[in-house]
Amino acid sequence: MTLATAPDREESVNEPISQTLLDDITRRLAATAEDYDRSSEFPRANFDYLAAQGLIGLTVARRYGGRGAGYAEAIRVLGAVAKGEPSTALILFMTYAHHAQPERLTRWPPHLYEKLAREAACGRGLIGFFRVEPELGTPVRGGMPKTIARRTADGWSISGTKIYATGSTGLDWYAVYAMTDEEEPRTGVFLVGSDRPGISIEPEWDHFGMRATVSHRVVFDETQIPLDHAVDVRKPNEWVFGVDDKSLAVWNSLAISTIYDGVAQAARDWLCTYLKERVPTNLGASLATLPRVQEKFGEIEALLQVNRTLLETAAQKADNGEALSLVFLNIVKYTATSNAIRAVQIGLELTGNPGLTRKNPLERHYRDVMCSRIHSPQDDTILVGAGRAGFGL
């Protein structure tokens, strides 16, 4: 299975975002990352800063006021954000992916899509995908949602529960996966404003890592939305992940990989400074001078270099419109996230107790990078798919 990935947007004439700005983003967000990790609050100040830099609408087409950025430019920004504070990057990724999908222009009501696009270009309009349910889990593995969209006289009434709703308390829009109550049920995306009556957020997110994603439980109780907010609803057999939403499959691979690589990059930088400054009295020189330490740090460098090369190459191929198979994209995610996890684990091996002390960022980076394993598709699905492809099945 191959995916045509060329974005349906105007040729960009924007200058690339400077590395100076990207470095500033990382520094600013890193300064409060520990605070957000401890408080588990939505990182509002981070989004205010990114909005001031004109980066919320990065992937919005220029005709709607955005920058029309492609994959390569967008993952540069996501990587800088993630290196500073990865929960912010995960929330931001959903808005980027939403506006980078040409399917929006052909399936959504044009006036409604334009409204969201112009909001993002003005620094607002954060949107999140609410798909996971207590009974269903993730729909990527199949099954019908229990969230029901009931037709009313002038629109739709949404009732149901979503869990792991990333960005819940800070988003402007929810893209809710639900099933209609029609005689022949359809499933799809219903656009719900976060300020609509009938929405309650249960603050249950108390996670190992990525704590500022505020991925709480969101309950919809006869939440009313206009008729045209059923923006993409189809028969269940018409939904195939990675086929009907081609660019979302590309985005999922590149963005998730980039975010957790950013965590590993931050861990690498902290570790480098720590090893150079740590001078045991019995050694009389820094730990960085020991060949064994140099060997293990070199392994980290190798893992992260592979990630950089893999992600840059995949993003460039996608921007050039090359056909990328779903197997390839999933292997990119598997490889990059596995390398990121291993890179941080090596840091813990080299530091021992200090690396697991909460005053040191490495402990937080380790908790964050381990969350890479929970994102769909999970490793078992990726490897079974790669194995079947290898056998030609």
Q: State pLDDT tens for residues 160-172.
A: 999 999 999 999 9
**The pLDDT of residue 249:** 84
DSSP lists the bridge partners of residue 2 as 325
Decide if 101 contacts 259 (C-beta within 8 A): no
**The pLDDT of residue 235:** 85
**The pLDDT of residue 242:** 47
Domain 246-391 class in CATH: mainly alpha
**The pLDDT of residue 12:** 45
Q: List, by residue range, all CATH 2.40.110.10 domains of the chain.
A: 129-238
Pick the CATH number of 2-126 from 3.30.1490.190, 1.10.760.10, 3.20.190.10, 1.10.540.10: 1.10.540.10
Range 26-55 burial, b when 16+ CB lie within 10 A, else e: bebbbebbeebbeebbbbeebbebbbeeeb
Q: For 321, left (φ over 0), alpha (ψ -120 to 50), or beta?
A: left
**The pLDDT of residue 41:** 97
Question: How many Å apart are CA 124 and CA 56, to the nearest integer?
Answer: 7
DSSP lists the bridge partners of residue 190 as 176, 230
**The pLDDT of residue 140:** 62
The CATH superfamily assigned to 129-238 is Butyryl-CoA Dehydrogenase, subunit A, domain 2 (2.40.110.10)
Q: List, by residue range, all CATH 1.10.540.10 domains of the chain.
A: 2-126
**The pLDDT of residue 375:** 93
Cβ neighbours for 1, distance < 8 A, ≥ 6 positions apart: 242, 243, 325, 326, 327
Q: State pLDDT tens for residues 346-369.
A: 999 999 999 999 999 999 999 999
DSSP state of 16: P
Q: State pLDDT tens for residues 106-158.
A: 789 999 999 999 999 999 999 999 999 998 766 665 678 999 999 999 999 99
Low-confidence spans in the chain with pLDDT less than 50: 1, 4-9, 11-12, 242-244
**The pLDDT of residue 13:** 52
* Token digits of residue 15: 């200058």
